[in-house]
Amino acid sequence: MEQEGGKAGRFGDCSESVIGACIEVHRHLGPGLLESAYEHCLCHELSLRGLSYERQRVLPVCYKGIDLECGYRLDVVVEAQLIVEIKAVERLLPVHEAQVITYLKLSGLDIGLLVNFHSQTLRQGLRRLSRK
């Protein structure tokens, strides 16, 4: 099922549209740029697809009822439901997946995409993670 805007695809969320946007960015740019360049281009592509997003959302750490501003930021939050964590590294490591899982727990969101634009093919550098 093709997905447009915020409509749910086979995952029941906007993952498919966001993955398609990531593939388009990777197809045009390839590996080798900084994460910030991929983030900027991805957000442009999300706009072209009619998806709402927020860049660099502050993520406080709640400790014993106190919100602490510790400098954590979510790269991109799409449709207020999905975190996109952008990497441009040689290969994804378990610590990168743990980072996304922690961001999901702290934000209360359920789904995250870990995207490594440095991969030769985006399929190799893409992980869909959930906090459940």
CATH of the domain at 119: 3.40.1350
- Tell me the pLDDT band of 8, cut-offs 50, 70 and 90: low
Q: How many residues does the chain have?
A: 132
By residue range, what is the domain housing residue 48? Answer: 15-130
- Would residue 52 count as lying in a domain? yes
Q: How sure is the predictor about 9, in pLDDT bands with cuts at 50, 70 and 90? A: low
Q: Measured between alpha carbons, how far is 35 from 88 in angstroms, rounded to an integer?
A: 6
36 versus 132: the higher-pLDDT residue is: 36
Residue 42 has a pLDDT of: 96
pLDDT in tens, 111-132: 999 999 999 888 889 999 998 6
Which residues, in sequence order, are CB contacts of 13 under 8 Å at separation 6+?
Answer: 79, 81, 82, 110, 111
> Between residues 65 and 50, which one has the greater pLDDT?
50
Q: What is the largest CA-CA distance in the chain?
A: 46
Quick check: helix, strand or coil at residue 26?
helix
Residue-by-residue DSSP string for 51-92: --EEEEEE-PEEETTEEE--S-EEEEEETTTEEEEEE-SSS-
Whether residue 93 is contained in a domain is answered as: yes
Helix 35-48 and helix 15-29, axial crossing angle in degrees, nearest 10: 120
How far apart, in Å, are the Cα atoms of 5 and each of 9, 14, 24?
Answer: 10, 8, 16
Query: Has residue 43 been placed in a domain?
Result: yes
Average pLDDT value for residue range 3-30: 77
Is 104 contained in some domain?
A: yes
Total of domains in the chain: 1
Per the domain annotation, does 7 fall within a domain?
no
